Structure 1
């Protein structure tokens, strides 16, 4: 994809995100409505997108090398963030929130649309493997461990239950099961309609969730977070991906996915288990806005190397 097409795609994404934000500002929708949108996305639209992508793609065991590289990168980012927290006078809920935001990227909500637009349908299956077996499983194991250790509600978390009941993961395995199976046309049509709705709904949901208040309270942490998430993470992905001998196509997916900003999933975990939700909200907003600049830069760098 040439640079003009790349910026055009980013601009389209920003436009949809802005529409979601303006819908909240004008009162057309409320911030709380993002919960309804997220439920539609997580339980209906995103599983349909994943099911069709996996069912219609060429899948091999080699795809597991993609999330493995992702795990190395996420663990490295978490370790870097942990070292930083030892140098700063932070309360435990903020430490846990910082670790979550530094490690977990928005590889589903933002990663899927950008992968589809930048790299095509064939790359989407690789992005799904990265997101499900990388980000999601990391979030519901290591991420929930951070929530247990640093959260304030003291709950013991059933990590296995959280993983196996996650609808996109179920859709991935169902898609694998139905590969080569002829389905009735009305089912495929319905799934296609839901799948087509996933991307715009995701973008609108991101915009509806954006909050710019309390931005000034966490300036240093946000700068450090953006450095880890938007610069260190894709740089490590490129190095580790080359060491792992990933193909050019797989390497492009890994670098793109690791260049994603902090994930809304980290906010949901933080809110549920007593981490610093105020920090997470402004961190996600800041990283998302800056990523609209850094993602095209990384794609340009990968194209010319």
Structure 2
């Protein structure tokens, strides 16, 4: 178990640390081209869409793995419901307080809270963890959980939530237009169309290589954002979001999967995916829709550290 954790978290922490150092030590002239906001928009419009097409090239579209996205949608809905219930309780508990009270959240902060509590890092972090734990035979379950589950929830529901809570307060028609114009959603359908006919070897390999290259780039962006955080006043709301995302939701999903006839390792993969910390997509959406960056980055950073403790828990409960 310790070997698995070391293999997974060494590159994770390494790329993040590189981004942190770049932001702190890079000359001012270079920061114009390596600005995290610019890189985040590149990921939203180019990196994630092309990466999606690349991963679909290697996907196996057969067998029981079609249940994986259903589990993802269920886990996301459960996380959203719990986050909404907590926000409603928090609103009523602090109703009538001073307008400057830190518990009275802005629209942007509520949007970031929803994203952190519902969207998991089932790709950049889930892929290597599931591959190391369950092997390549069950990698398709992790892949479908991410491509058909997290993909639609992150750039479908996630775009809707981020747009609704953007400080610009877009109209419902604008929200619908932003949702339908999400480049990753269109990239998914393009990827499915291309998967039905073989591409030239150099093109297919290039797309897959680009897809994997987006992982370190996303972690570098995270490290750069960490370097920009001046104080950690968002720790408590981030901790609540993480309690929902990496403890309560995967525990309920794992208990529910024990009643199904699927292979034990498939159940473990789905539980691990449901318990991934907040996705890099939350940072991409936060950058694009100007949400609460401090809460998002805090949830991402603390979530990765907390996963060091929750991963052994799920392996101990369902890894036999």
- Give yes or no for TM over 0.5: yes
Q: Quick check: 1:162 aligned with 2:179?
A: yes
Q: Quick check: 1:109 aligned with 2:124?
A: yes
Q: 1:130 aligns with which of 142, 145, 152?
A: 145
Task: Give the corresponding residue for 2:225.
Answer: 209
Q: Which runs of 5+ in 2 are unaligned?
A: 95-103
* 1:70 positional shift: 1.6
Closer, same or farther in 2 for the Cα pair 1:220/1:185, shift >3 Å?
A: closer
Task: Give the corresponding residue for 1:282.
Answer: 298
Q: 1:70 aligns with which of 69, 72, 79?
A: 72
Distance 2:250 2:264 in 1: 15
Q: 2:82 aligns with which of 80, 83, 100?
A: 80
- CA displacement, residues 99-122 of structure 1 (integer Å, 9 cap, x when unaligned): 221111222333334334444445
Closer, same or farther in 2 for the Cα pair 1:119/1:207, shift >3 Å?
A: farther
Does the 8 Å CA contact 2:41/2:288 hold for their aligned counterparts? no
TM-score, normalized by length of structure 2?
A: 0.77
- CA displacement, residues 132-162 of structure 1 (integer Å, 9 cap, x when unaligned): 3322322344434444554431103444653
Does the 8 Å CA contact 2:5/2:308 hold for their aligned counterparts? no
- CA displacement, residues 183-218 of structure 1 (integer Å, 9 cap, x when unaligned): 333324433542453333333333233257355423
Closer, same or farther in 2 for the Cα pair 1:233/1:212, shift >3 Å?
A: farther
The runs of at least 4 aligned residues of structure 1 exceeding 6 Å deviation read none
3-state SS of 1:217 partner: coil
* 1:271 positional shift: 4.6
Q: Which runs of 5+ in 1 are unaligned?
A: none
Task: Give the corresponding residue for 2:278.
Answer: 262
3-state SS of 1:153 partner: coil
* 1:294 positional shift: 2.5
- Aligned positions, number: 302
Distance 2:11 2:188 in 1: 27
TM-score, normalized by length of structure 1?
A: 0.80
Does the 8 Å CA contact 1:67/1:130 hold for their aligned counterparts? yes
